[in-house]
Structure formats: C-alpha cells, structure tokens
Amino acid sequence: MFTSLFQHIEKFIILEPSEIDILKSCLGLSTIKKKTLVLQEGQVCNTMYFIIKGCMRQYIINSKGSEQTLQFGIENWWITDYLSYHNHTPSHFYIQAIENCEVIAIEKPILESLLIQIPKLERYFRIVSQKSFGAAQMRIKFLFTMSAEERYHHFNDMNPEFVQRVPQYMLASYLDFSAEFMSKIRAGKI
C-alpha cells in the first residue's frame, strides 16, 4: 500500500520497525481524479503530496489568461508549494492531477509531529529537497543555454516515455515556448 514511499525513504535512511509502524499509522491513501485541483492560486498550501501512481503538475495562469506549467510530478515525487507551505502565505500556483492519481497527502501538522517522532525523517526530506533544488538549477541552465528546439529534443531524449503521458501544450509551456511552435518543431518545419 505505502511500499513505494517506504522504498523511496529507504534509499536515503534506514527505519526501525517501530518507526515504520508509526509512519504507517499516520499515513493515508487518497485518490484524485484527473483534472482535480488540489491547490489554487491564493490558497495557503498546507499539504505535501507523494505520488504513488499518476501524474500531477504545478502551473500558473499568466497575464493573458493562459496556463503555463512550471513542474510535473510523477511516481515517487513529492509535490507541493514549499514557499506557501513554510511561510503560510497565499500560493502563486495551481497544483492539478493530470491523470487519475493515487497519492499520500500529508497535512502539515501531521508531518510536523512525524518529524518529531522520527527525527531521521528530517534527513530524508533534507536530501530530497537538496536534490530537487539541484535539479531546479539545472533546469534554469537548460532554459538559459538552449534554443526552443534544443530544449525539446533534449527533453525528449531524457524522458522519452514521459512525453507520451502529457498533452503537448503542457509540455510546450514547461519548456517555455508556444504550443504552435512545438507543433512546427515536431513536423520538422523549423
């Protein structure tokens, strides 16, 4: 049931059986239907989501009223708005399921009490978030140094299976170009 989370945790730390029991007793499984918003702009984000199955995204609505995807999350990823979560400030983002999902949704008070009961989990979340920050830095590097076409091919090469899972227009906005331009790249008309 929660095996994928335990497997993920045990990549970084080793849990005692008693700690596993505590953790299990605090976790719950949720199902989220495709297109459901679990966070909207303006709300304070009080939940972290660990994706067991499915795909989610974090996006914004820009000044022209169109959506731009900032982040995708798939199996074994945590997704949340860390700034809103930590500062108790209204979020700038939407978080949405783009497939039917199974997730572990942990509310802040529960997570805080877990971190007190199982201090080792601090280490787990530290390593995960440091790696995420490193990945964000690489993402900015790619955005800065590659042309639209290069970003598309690079992403395709690195994540061939993932490209099939999401609508092209979401991927286009994630790579920071228009859906129309993506269509032309794919057709080889550039």
Partner DNA sequence: TAAAAAACTTGAAGTACTTCAAGAAATACG
Partner DNA sequence: CGTATTTCTTGAAGTACTTCAAGTTTTTTA
Residue ranges binding DNA (CB under 7 A): 34, 64, 147-149, 167-169, 176-184, 186-187, 189
The one of DNA, a copy of itself, none whose footprint includes residue 12, by CB under 5 to 8 A per kind, is none
Query: Is residue 114 within 8 Å of 23, Cβ to Cβ?
Result: yes
Which one-letter DSSP state was computed for residue 66? -
Least distance in Å: CB of 18 to a copy of itself?
A: 17
Buried b (16+ CB within 10 A) or exposed e, 106-134: bebeebeebeeebeebeebbeebeeeeee
Residues 138-167 that bind a copy of itself (CB under 8 A): 138-141, 143-145
What 3-state DSSP class applies to 188? coil
The one of a copy of itself, DNA, none whose footprint includes residue 179, by CB under 5 to 8 A per kind, is DNA
Number of residues interacting with a copy of itself: please give it, by CB under 8 A.
41
Report the distance separating Cα 37 and Cα 56, nearest Å: 10
53 is a site residue for a copy of itself (CB under 8 A):
no
State which of residues 134, 153, 178, 186 lies at the interface with a copy of itself (CB under 8 A): 134
Q: Where are the beta strands (DSSP E) in the chain?
A: 29-32, 37-39, 47-53, 56-61, 67-73, 78-79, 94-97, 101-107
Q: Which residues bind a copy of itself (CB under 8 A)?
A: 58, 60, 62-63, 68, 70-71, 81-86, 92-93, 115, 119-120, 122-123, 125-127, 129-141, 143-145, 173, 176
